[in-house]
Amino acid sequence: MNNRKLILILSLFIVSAISYQTIGLTINSQIGAIKKSNIQKGNYGIINDETNIGHPRTIELNKKEVGLSEKIILDTDIGSDIDDAICLAYLLAKPECELLGITTVSGEADKRAMVASMICEAAGKHIPIFPGAEEPLTIPQKQPIARQAKVLANWKHEEKFPQGEAIEFMRQTIRKNPGEITLIAIGPLTNIALLFKIDPEIPHLLKSLVMMGGVFINLNPYPTEWNIRCDPHAAAIVYRSKANMHKSIGLDVTLKVRMAVSEVQKRFKSKGLLPVLDIINALYKPTDIITFHDPLAATTLFNDGICSFKKGKVEVEIDGKHGEGFTAWEPDEMNGFHEVAADVNVQNFFTEYFSVF
């Protein structure tokens, strides 16, 4: 069963189950039939001097213990905004990162897989890559094109990938490594929602789920975030699934880590960053600003001195008063099972990011 068929089946169940008067989502019990099937087929921004998140003098002390690798699966809509590519280059260069595989999501998933392959090849790494869901669960696609594919001709990359196996790859890999894998989700959450519904035990078998998405504490100037808006129904499923550790780095925090394209062009000289730089040169002007949304989420795995977090509960609005994809945040330090980023030390982030190149 390929991803498109799977999405169609799930979508029928979801449409019949969603009440647009409430936030809640349920899926028809017939989903069990799907579960049994086999899916074989510088400008560094503003540093907040009032925060005590990993003072630069103690940044080394805040790093995770060197030598302990993190097993990671990356789910990404690489090919649209540049921050996914910047994030992947960091993970490939990070010695403590054991990247087990990459799954792509959103329109032209194959081309997105090629972009990921291009960056892996430049880094000298051979990582399994699986094109995933191309369509949201129920709403129309908001990003049908992988615009970064325009530079593929300039770089070596794979062109053939396993089809219809992204969800099963994640499921089997997580089951073979219970409690050891961190799933990093930096795109729309369609693949993750499908995974959690096909195998409801998966959230409990993860070491952690780390996401770039949502807006939680400061709703100005943007009350909602792109990854959640691209598939709010999938996001609602994911936030209702209680992973052992679920961290979200929201737009209200990631907007603080920005760099001018002109400065990026000076800094991106490492071999592993060259295809990323090629994309930037092709699609951005020197006066543009790049926001490091997704890399910020990834770096928090390896350095506790970058972001501070608050515990609470998150629910995703489907048709509520705040708009589709609004992530309603309720602080709850005692019983909250979601952690959201509250602040970031910008200097520590950039120090960590560029330390691997």
Q: What is the mean pLDDT of residues 159-169?
A: 98
The pLDDT tens digits for 198-255 are 999 999 999 999 999 999 999 988 999 999 999 999 999 999 999 999 999 999 999 9
Provide the CATH number for the domain around residue 115.
3.90.245.10
- Given pLDDT bands bounded at 50, 70 and 90, which one contains residue 40? very low
Q: How far apart are CA 29 and CA 239, in angstroms?
A: 19
Contact 119, 129 (CB under 8 A): no
Q: What is the pLDDT of residue 221?
A: 87
Token pair of 160 as six digits: 């053939």
Residue 219, classed as helix, strand or coil, is coil
Element (DSSP H or E) covering residue 111: helix 109-122
Q: Which residue has the higher pLDDT, 60 or 241?
A: 241
Residue 205 forms part of a structural domain: yes
Residue 96, classed as helix, strand or coil, is coil
Cis peptide before 223 (omega within 30 of 0): no
Token pair of 61 as six digits: 């002390």
Residue 310 forms part of a structural domain: yes
Residue 27 above 90 pLDDT?
A: no
Q: Which residue has the higher pLDDT, 322 or 21?
A: 322
Mark 177-208 as b/e (b = at least 16 C-beta within 10 Å). eeebbbbbbbbbbbbbbbbbbbbeebbebbbb
- What percent of the chain is predicted at pLDDT more than 70? 81
Q: How far apart are CA 278 and CA 32, in angstroms?
A: 45
Residues, the chain: 357
Q: What is the pLDDT of residue 320?
A: 72
Sign of CA dihedral 299, 300, 306, 312: positive
Average pLDDT, whole number, for the chain? 86
Q: What is the pLDDT of residue 3?
A: 54
Low-confidence winner among 128-137, 188-197, 201-210, 219-228 (lowest mean pLDDT): 219-228
Q: What is the mean pLDDT of residues 78-94?
A: 98
Q: What is the pLDDT of residue 342?
A: 98
Q: What is the largest CA-CA distance in the chain?
A: 56
Long-range Cβ contact pairs of 241-245 (< 8 A, separation 24 or more): 241/196, 241/200, 241/203, 242/203, 242/204, 242/337, 243/203, 243/204, 243/206, 243/208, 243/209, 244/179, 244/203, 244/204, 244/206, 244/207, 244/208, 245/206, 245/207, 245/208, 245/209, 245/339
Residue 111 above 60 pLDDT?
A: yes
The pLDDT tens digits for 145-159 are 999 999 999 999 999
Q: What is the pLDDT of residue 33?
A: 35
Token pair of 308 as six digits: 């501070």
Q: What is the pLDDT of residue 4?
A: 55
Residue 51 forms part of a structural domain: no
Contact 257, 291 (CB under 8 A): yes
Give me the domain span that covers residue 199.
3-39+58-354
Q: How far apart are CA 196 and CA 230, in angstroms?
A: 18
Nearest to 55 by CA among 354, 319, 356, 348: 348
- Given pLDDT bands bounded at 50, 70 and 90, which one contains residue 312? very high
**Residue linked to tokens 């089946």:** 9
Residue 27 forms part of a structural domain: yes
Residue 143 forms part of a structural domain: yes
Distances (CA, A) of 31 to 26, 27, 28, 318, 342: 11, 7, 6, 21, 36
Residue 257 forms part of a structural domain: yes
The pLDDT tens digits for 257-308 are 999 999 999 999 999 999 999 999 999 999 999 999 999 999 999 999 999 9
Q: How far apart are CA 130 and CA 113, in angstroms?
A: 7
- What percent of the chain is predicted at pLDDT more than 90? 79
The pLDDT tens digits for 63-75 are 554 557 999 999 9
- Given pLDDT bands bounded at 50, 70 and 90, which one contains residue 7? low
Residue 124 forms part of a structural domain: yes
Residue 5 above 80 pLDDT?
A: no
Q: What is the pLDDT of residue 8?
A: 52
Q: Which amino acid is at 85?
A: A
Distance of alpha carbon 40 from its chain centroid, rounded? 24
Q: Are strands 129-131 and 181-185 parallel, antiparallel or unpaired?
A: unpaired
Residue 47 forms part of a structural domain: no
- Given pLDDT bands bounded at 50, 70 and 90, which one contains residue 321? confident
- Given pLDDT bands bounded at 50, 70 and 90, which one contains residue 26? very low
Q: What is the pLDDT of residue 68?
A: 79
Domain count, the chain: 1
Q: What is the pLDDT of residue 50?
A: 32
- Given pLDDT bands bounded at 50, 70 and 90, which one contains residue 323? confident
Q: What is the pLDDT of residue 64?
A: 52
Contact 180, 208 (CB under 8 A): no
Contact 300, 90 (CB under 8 A): no
